[in-house]
Amino acid sequence: MLIQVGYDIVFEHPVKTPIIAMLYLHPSRQSSIRRGEFLLADPPTPISEYIDAFGNRCGRLIAPAGPIRFWNDAVVEDNGQPDLQDHTARQLEIHELPDEILTFLLPSRYCEVDRMVDLAWQLFGAIPPGWSRVQAVCDFVHHHVHFDYMQARKTRTAFEAYQEKVGVCRDFTHLGITLCRCLNIPARYCTGYLGDIGVPVNEPMDFSAWFEAYLGGRWYPFDPRNHMPRIGRILMAHGHDAADVALLTSFGPSRLERFTVWTHEVGYDALASVPQQ
């Protein structure tokens, strides 16, 4: 299966402004890219790249005063299968976890593990550890939080999402991550593309958030917002929470002028076509 992904985003800055952009596909997706995968800035602006502590591909630039457009378009090959599941995957004991995984048990900016640990054990302590426990967390979050774009708030934490019972995909994800960490299950925040392939919905397209839980020695995707295995989940970045994977960080005032995202299945003729900017 081929999936076309991309975006057309315009910001305006009153003065020259340094920016960090995580607007690339994650390096783990590099071998599946079949066309494109480039970041264009208009007006043309030099962009240097680096890999951060989580393995995400990042760009650095200084945006000129005025509007700046970021545009990308790529075709990615996907296996066309729903998210991998393993209902027998076990929860590893703390002493069994690799050193680099331990950080995903700790509190972070939006995930207040220390505030929710007692609640988590009250809710899920009787659930068998492993896949069943993570799924129970997702079931709870999906039914506890009401999705509402109009009530999005970039400062909302997991505890606040639990209290307010409303949010967007990042809030569902933060709450799921926090409850898992409270239960000694490593969990990390993921952001990227998720289209409507194989599902009977047609919602406005946006970047999506989900989390991965570390079970049985590997990471598995979980999505308490959509609450079902999905096809065509394409990673851009991951970290402790949304603070680590902001797709665009401006070190100064900025205003969003345009925001368009696309991700949809295409045929092999898309490999020969020239994307329109």
Q: Which residue ranges form the domains of the chain, and what is each CATH number?
A: 2-80+246-271 (2.60.40.2250), 94-231 (3.10.620.30)
Task: Tell me: pLDDT of 108 over 70.
Answer: yes
What pLDDT digit, counting tens, does each position of 201-223 carry? 666 788 999 999 999 999 999 99
Is the peptide bond between 186 and the residue preceding it cis, with omega within 30 degrees of 0?
no
Residue 224 · residue 175 · CB < 8 Å: yes
Residue 16 tokens read as: 């020259």
Instruction: Give me the pLDDT at residue 232, please.
Output: 94
Relative to beta strand 146-147, strand 166-167 is parallel
What CA–CA distances, in Å, run from 110 to 97, 126, 154, 175, 269?
23, 26, 10, 9, 43
Distance CA 206, CA 100 (A): 31
Instruction: Give me the pLDDT at residue 216, please.
Output: 97
Which residue from 181, 121, 171 is spatially nearest to 147, judged by alpha carbons?
171
Task: Tell me: pLDDT of 114 over 80.
Answer: yes
Instruction: Give me the pLDDT at residue 274, please.
Output: 60
Distance CA 262, CA 78 (A): 16
Phi then psi for 211, rounded to 5 degrees? Answer: -130, 160
What pLDDT digit, counting tens, does each position of 133-171 carry? 999 999 999 999 999 989 999 999 999 999 999 999 999
Task: Tell me: pLDDT of 93 over 90.
Answer: yes
Instruction: Give me the pLDDT at residue 266, please.
Output: 94
Q: ∠ at Cα 261 (260, 266), nearest 5°?
A: 130
Helices (H) and strands (E) in the chain, counts: 4, 15
What pLDDT digit, counting tens, does each position of 5-48 carry? 999 999 999 999 999 999 999 999 999 999 988 899 999 999 99
Q: Can you state the angle between helices 113-124 and 169-182, rounded to 10 degrees?
A: 80
b/e code 186-213 from CB counts within 10 Å (16+ = b): bbbbbbbbbbbbeeeeeeebbbbbbbbb
What pLDDT digit, counting tens, does each position of 42-91 carry? 999 999 999 999 999 999 999 999 999 999 999 999 999 999 999 999 99
- Which is more confident, 40 or 200? 40
Instruction: Give me the pLDDT at residue 276, please.
Output: 63
The average pLDDT across 112-129 equals: 97
What pLDDT digit, counting tens, does each position of 231-276 carry? 999 999 999 999 999 999 999 999 999 999 999 999 988 887 666 6
Residue 118 tokens read as: 């007692």
What is the number of other CB atoms lying within 10 angstroms of the CB of residue 161? 25
Residue 271 · residue 75 · CB < 8 Å: yes
